[in-house]
Amino acid sequence: MPDQATVAGAAAIRPKPDFLKELERASGESVSSCYHCRKCTNGCPLAFAMDVLPNQVMRMIQLGLENEVLRSKTVWICASCQTCTTRCPNDIDIAHVMDVLRQWNLERGVPPGEAKVVKFHEAFLKSVRRHGRVFETGMVFGYKMATKDFFGDMGIAWQMFKRGKLQFVPDSIRGRGQVRAMFDKKRKG
Ligand code: SF4
Ligand code: SF4
């Protein structure tokens, strides 16, 4: 008799019973009150690109499917636009839940569903840590080095250059030391 969790060679699904409580504690959001009306999903501008829809993310959390939800593409495709949050009749801040899932994806060493988006995210944060605000040209250079994709998006880069949107010298803020200290404090936990 095969293990019940293993079906025709598929990876075993092992729910984590306290995952819902853990997520609710970390986010302060009452995910257990989601009753799957799909208003979040119906308003999400990026649902077409997601492998798991926002209301399905809520259901997976309720079921304790930690690995499955953390390795979904959705947590990295979500643009934090908050449309879902404003539409939820149960006042669940779904965008914030996605933030927590992204953070856990990195901290818990789960392979991300969208590795390039993670590289972009890291390049963005590095740039903000260094300059106190994003320096686009430096950020793109860091992203290209991390992905080794040196020639993709060249057309867009040229258009941005022509419109004067690409600076070659960073415009750092005065309080960048304080911004850096915030990043370092967060890193030390
Ligand atoms: S809108 Fe709120 S209650 Fe409805 S499915 Fe989405 S999270 Fe659940
Ligand atoms: S915050 Fe994310 S999940 Fe919510 S509507 Fe925007 S893109 Fe979709």
Distances from the Cα of 1 to the Cα of 5, 14, 49, angstroms:
11, 18, 38
With respect to residue 41, please indicate whether it lies within any of the assigned structural domains: yes
Number of domains in the chain: 2
pLDDT of the chain, 189 residues: tens digit per residue: 444 444 454 568 889 999 999 999 999 999 999 999 999 999 999 999 999 999 999 999 999 999 999 999 999 999 999 999 999 999 999 999 999 999 999 899 888 888 888 898 889 899 999 999 889 888 888 988 888 888 887 888 888 888 887 788 888 888 888 999 988 887 776
User: Of 55, 90, 107, which residue sits at a domain end?
Assistant: 107
Which residues have any ligand 1 atom within 6 Å of their CB?
34-40, 55, 58, 87-90, 92, 94
pTM of the model: 0.81
Residue from 55, 74, 96 whose mutation best tests the ligand 1 pocket (most atoms within 8 A of CB): 55
The closest-lying atom of ligand 1 relative to the alpha carbon of residue 38 is 5
What is the domain extent for residue 127?
115-188
Q: Which amino acid, 102? A: R
On whether both 25 and 102 belong to a single domain, the answer is yes
User: Of 83, 107, 131, which residue sits at a domain end?
Assistant: 107
On whether both 73 and 123 belong to a single domain, the answer is no
With respect to residue 96, please indicate whether it lies within any of the assigned structural domains: yes
Distances from the Cα of 126 to the Cα of 43, 94, 105, 131, 184, angstroms:
32, 26, 18, 9, 11
User: Of 53, 77, 107, which residue sits at a domain end?
Assistant: 107
On whether both 140 and 66 belong to a single domain, the answer is no
Q: Which bound ligand lies closest to the C-alpha atom of 47?
A: 2
Phi, psi at residue 121, to the nearest 5°? -55, -45
